[in-house]
Amino acid sequence: MAISYIHLFILSFVSISRFLEISKAGAESELVADLLTLQSQSESGVIHLDDRTVSKFITSTKTPRPYSLLIFFDAILLHDKSDLRLPVLVHDFALVASSFIANHNGSNTKLFFCDLEFRESQSSFKLFDVNALPNIYLVGPDAESLKDDTEQMEQSGFTRLTESLVEFIESRTQLTVGPIHHPPIISKKQMVLIIGFLLIWSPFAARKIVAGETMFHNPRIWLSGAIFVYFFSVSGAMHIIIRKMPMFLMDREDPNKLIFFYRGTGIQLGLEGFMVGFLYTIVGLLLAVVTHVLVYVKDLKTKRIGMLFSIFVSFWAVKQVIFLDNWKTGYAIHGFWPSRWN
Amino acid sequence: MAAPEASTAAVPTLYTNNTLRNAFGGVLSFFILLLIGVLAFSIRLFSVIKYESVIHEFDPYFNYRVTQFLTKKGIYEFWNWFDDRTWYPLGRVIGGTVYPGLTLTAGTIWWLLNSLNIPLSVETVCVFTAPIFSAFASWATYLLTKEVKGAGAGLTSAVLLAMVPSYISRSVAGSYDNEAVAIFALIFTFYLYLKTLNTGSLFYATLNSLAYFYMVCSWGGYTFIINLIPMHVLLCIVTGRYSSRLYIAYAPLVVLGTLLAALVPVVGFNAVMTSEHFASFLVFIIIHVVAFVYYIKGILSPKMFKVAVTLVVTVGLAVCCAVIAVLIALVASSPTKGWSGRSLSLLDPTYASKYIPIIASVSEHQPPTWPSYFMDINVLAFLVPAGIIACFLPLSDASSFVVLYIATSVYFSGVMVRLMLVLAPAACITSGIALSEAFDVLTGSIKFQLPGVTSNAEVDAGETSSDTSEAQTDEVHSVWAAAEAYSAPSIVLTTRSRDGLHVFDDFREAYAWLSHNTDVNDKVASWWDYGYQTTAMANRTVIVDNNTWNNTHIATVGTAMSSPERAAWEIFHSLDVKYVLVVFGGLIGYPSDDINKFLWMVRIGGGVFPHIKEPDYLRDGQYRIDSQATPTMLNCLMYKLSYYRFVETDGKAYDRVRRTEIGKKYFKLTHFEEVFTTHHWMVRIYKLKPLKNRIRGKAKKSKSKTSSTSSSKRSGTKKKNPWQ
């Protein structure tokens, strides 16, 4: 009998432990299913967590969890602080999330993208010991203590979030993210509208072009366009746009003073560029006026004044640019004359 | 334009002896052009005079090596060349991945000279290819501008192009790179396009396609041509300038040009599949529709035509829309998903900085600031607006092309500083036109006033002299730029100190040592910057080179350099590496050495192999090699190979680049041995110790540390290693 008791005991132990295993697996799969539902409810696939869900999915589950969570710490309060660039980062994070989900056809259950908002989930912020933004943490399957076992993304990564986030995910989780799907510049609706507009407009345009009545037939428009493009480019406006340079700087030592010219070749300020662009352009325009207009003026006095004015302004402009260039770059251009000329 | 007409009317006597005058002008022009050629060639020789006849930088060494191969083995071998001396053990298909134009050109020049019994070395030919082609480019500029505004403007433009700093920077003697021939090809293609446009001759149209083919062979920048010409054609159509000449200039170029472009292996089917080329096909369709409309117009009476226009316009538009839809679909499904990253960043300048950090990080792709324009095109920057205005008075097909060329290229140069090179010819052409018109008008007015010189003429003379002084400023600047800024070959370095000129020729010393003292099949590992030079000058197999196509491979070398000695030895050994070459500038203060590039080795290595972590090498966010450096830093291979025995030089081990004493001064190498260090310590070469040392070290772990130095001495007497 004793043997049968032992048997029974072993049997019941095995069955209980199996039941526990099954129920644990059941609980885990339930959690994953919950996460998947939450993911599908969000437009970008980023799950919005709060204190309750943090406890449900992270702190009160047993390790190892069948999933990792990548958490972006957000604070709506700070969205208007331009130096933190939080809205941009939120957008980039969502972009990586949606690309990741799309690349895995929604069948991914290993990694979920989440965000936490400061006001709603202050205690979770404390759990992670986050007191500076922006911040991204990866909660791995084995992480128990949110302070010590989680991995934080380096601050240097936030300048190019999409790329460094992909690198971060791929190196830490061994999952591939795949190509990032940037949203097209024009949405489909806009595209349809534009095509529709073009279709309606094209017969009228073609008519006008055949008749030669458009503004494109006016050379003056082309002329001013070309000169403007020239002015725009030589003034380094593209540099200003791409680098988002300010028009001028405040002097740190004297707040009432403004700095218009920046010393050093790599950087230029907005107004500085436009001023030099103006100097570049004005000489050519004056030369054109002299060549094509002034020589045909009948009145001798006007002619002389015009000529002297152009010579003076041209000399001044060229001298200014040479001076500014030497000042800014530090180059000293010299001729290679025989030494006795010096 | 009014000025020439007025002068024709005023002095009819000048034109009585027209033929003689033209002949004289022709001969004079010829000699002036000859002198311009000499000027273009000689202004680029500063590097040869100041240093010697040597190939510059890094990429030209690769081109040089390819040319050597071509001259030795012939064109078919070259076409099928699989190079097993780089990217060991992967190798690289050279024939299919290079633009062959430059190589074929230099190879042909060499072959021609040799068949004329002029025995020049391949290197000499390569060194002087760029200056020779600059002379050609100035002549091509003359031809182009002559088509637009006559011979006078042509000569002025040619002389400006001969010495425009932007072009000099890419074509000094020794700078043997694609741009050297490509700029000539670019200008010549544009010239032939305008010539065809002015004459309507099919002969020139065919030549134009051939010139385009040469451009495609030479440089990836050919896409600029295949977009600019369609833009001009479209502009002509829109502004009502369609003519049969335009059709002849364009249609053969698209058909023949695309067929020929597809023959170049590196372009291949890209010529019809990537969206950079789609603009030309779209315009090709439009020009046919327009040609059809004009044909109908010709055969119908005006009344009938009005009726027909409605019909043709509707049918034509329907066809156009269908084709455009197909094209858009093609663009969307093309391999690059529309435009390539670089092209896109030209259209939307902020694109690269947002989405493609690799493109945005390259210094050549930065948007320039205003001093760049002054440095690169100098006073031409002042003259261009006058030239643009001159092109509009009157506006012809050819001059509208010049306006379009300058407007697009100046915009592109504003986005990427590299494209300043494409702007330079356009700036020279427009400035040449401006200067020539100014001279024409102003000197003309002096001439008419000569009988009784008035003050008016004096003012004119003042203006003329101010023009001349601008031209002189340009010359001084260009000569200075050619002599000082752009002539350093970077393989030989010089510094001037109080005791005179110092020459640092360590690179060539090291490569020569490698080629004389190592086996021809030995593999040499170094950071990728020195890959091209090692294969070309030392003729040894390298692991990675400047054609950075395989990131993992580069990361492997980066990881080895950032690992401790033993781990590095294992990585290098697995790649069959026998020698490791490092560049060290600490002794003489050469700043672009490997320690300064080390952060990239760590980053790139860590990107692929996560056990390399950047923070391990940083103290307070900085790379340091002094006493504050991290242990990982002080134990990594790069530190050890750079600073091994460095303390023996001055007793303090003071690094002149980092301006500090190094952290760990006395250490020994266990898995590497120093085999060669150059005169100024700029290049140091180490040999991997053979395998048995490691086995011995494993067997006698306790002794290995103390006996590691003596074991290398003993190893010579023992049995030969079976792995060697």
pLDDT tens per residue, range A131-166: 777 888 888 887 777 777 777 777 767 766 777 778
Residue B9 predicted with pLDDT over 80:
no
Q: Is B287 on the interface with A (CB under 8 A)?
A: no
pLDDT in tens, A157-210: 776 677 777 878 877 777 777 777 776 666 677 778 888 888 778 777 776 766
**A193 token code pair:** 């509208």
Which among A210, A267, A281 is the nearest to B385, CB-wise?
A: A281
Q: Quick check: helix, strand or coil at residue B206?
A: helix
Q: Between A246 and A12, where is the model more confident?
A: A246
Rounded average pLDDT over B194-211: 96
- Sort out which chain B residues have CB atoms less than 8 A from A243's CB and list them: 367
Q: Is B236 on the interface with A (CB under 8 A)?
A: no
| pLDDT number for residue B408 | 93
pLDDT band at B724 (very low <50, low <70, confident <90, very high): very low
A5-19, A37-51, B332-346, B571-585: segment of lowest average pLDDT: B332-346
Which among B410, B463, B476 is the nearest to A230, CB-wise?
A: B410
**A26 token code pair:** 């059941």
CA atoms within 13 A on the CB side of B402: 38
Rounded average pLDDT over B158-171: 93
Sheet strands (E) in B84-208: 92-93
Question: Are the beta carbons of A235 and B382 separated by less than 8 Å?
Answer: no
Maximum mean pLDDT: which of A254-258, B133-137, B708-712: B133-137
| pLDDT number for residue A184 | 65
The gap from C-alpha B500 to its chain's centroid, in whole angstroms, comes to 34
Rounded average pLDDT over B63-90: 91
Spatial separation of the C-alpha atoms in residues B218 and B648, rounded to whole Å: 50
Distance from CA of B382 to the nearest CA of A (A): 5
Q: Quick check: helix, strand or coil at residue B61?
A: helix
Residue B721 predicted with pLDDT over 50:
no
pLDDT in tens, B389-418: 999 988 899 999 999 999 999 998 988 888
pLDDT, chain A, mean:
80
| φ/ψ bin of B272: left (φ > 0), alpha (ψ from -120 to 50), beta (otherwise) | alpha
Residue A278 predicted with pLDDT over 70:
yes
| pLDDT number for residue B259 | 95
Residue B145 predicted with pLDDT over 50:
yes
Percent of chain B with pLDDT over 70: 85
What CATH class has B505-688?
alpha beta
Percent of chain A with pLDDT over 90: 15
Radius of gyration of chain B, Cα coordinates, nearest whole angstrom: 31
Q: b/e map of B495-511 (b: 16 or more CB within 10 Å)? A: eeeeeeeeebbbbbbbb
Q: b/e map of B104-130 (b: 16 or more CB within 10 Å)? A: bbbbebbeeeeeeeeeeebbebbbbbb
Q: Quick check: helix, strand or coil at residue B622?
A: strand
Q: Between A39 and A288, where is the model more confident?
A: A288
The model scores a pTM over 0.95: no
A31-35, A186-190, A231-235, B79-83: segment of lowest average pLDDT: A186-190
Q: In chain B, where are the structural domains located?
A: 183-338, 505-688
| pLDDT number for residue B247 | 95
Question: Are the beta carbons of A296 and B2 separated by less than 8 Å?
Answer: yes
Rounded average pLDDT over B468-482: 81
pLDDT, chain B, mean:
84
| pLDDT number for residue B160 | 95
pLDDT band at B712 (very low <50, low <70, confident <90, very high): very low
Question: Are the beta carbons of A318 and B379 separated by less than 8 Å?
Answer: yes
Residue B198 predicted with pLDDT over 90:
yes
pLDDT band at B101 (very low <50, low <70, confident <90, very high): very high
Q: Quick check: helix, strand or coil at residue B665?
A: coil
Question: Are the beta carbons of A226 and B2 separated by less than 8 Å?
Answer: no
Q: Are A111 and A45 in contact (CB under 8 A)?
A: no
| pLDDT number for residue B706 | 41
Residue A18 predicted with pLDDT over 80:
no
| pLDDT number for residue B415 | 85
> What's the per-residue H, E or C state across chain A?
CHHHHHHHHHHHHHHHHHHHHHHHHHHHHHHHHHHHHHHHHCCCCEEEECHHHHHHHHHCCCCCCCCEEEEEEECHHHCCCCCCCHHHHHHHHHHHHHHHHHHCCCCCCCEEEEEEECCCCHHHHHHHCCCCCCEEEEECCCCCCCCCCCEECCHHHHHHHHHHHHHHHHHHHCCCCCCCCCCCCCCHHHHHHHHHHHHHHHHHHHHHHHHCCCHHHCHHHHHHHHHHHHHHHHCCHHHHHHHCCCCCEECCCCCCCEECCCCCCCCCCHHHHHHHHHHHHHHHHHHHHHHHCHHHCCCHHHHHHHHHHHHHHHHHHHHHHHHHHHHHHCCCCCCCCCHHHC
Q: Quick check: helix, strand or coil at residue B671?
A: coil
Write out the DSSP string of B266-305: TTTTHHHHSGGGHHHHHHHHHHHHHHHHHHHHHHS-HHHH
Question: Are the beta carbons of A287 and B381 separated by less than 8 Å?
Answer: no
Q: Quick check: helix, strand or coil at residue B173?
A: coil
Rounded average pLDDT over A115-126: 82
Q: Is B286 on the interface with A (CB under 8 A)?
A: no
- Sort out which chain A residues have CB atoms less than 8 A from B467's CB and list them: 287
| pLDDT number for residue B579 | 94
| pLDDT number for residue B357 | 52
Which residue in A292, A303, A312 has the most chain B C-beta atoms within 10 A of its own C-beta, making it the best mutation to test that interface?
A: A292
Strand partners, A250: A258
ipTM of the complex: 0.82
**A57 token code pair:** 């999915």
| pLDDT number for residue B100 | 93
pLDDT band at B334 (very low <50, low <70, confident <90, very high): low
pLDDT in tens, B497-555: 777 888 888 999 999 999 999 999 999 999 988 999 999 999 999 999 887 777 888 88
Q: Between B416 and B340, where is the model more confident?
A: B416
| pLDDT number for residue A186 | 64
**B506 token code pair:** 């360590």
Residue B295 predicted with pLDDT over 70:
yes
Spatial separation of the C-alpha atoms in residues B118 and B460, rounded to whole Å: 52
Spatial separation of the C-alpha atoms in residues A147 and B470, rounded to whole Å: 68
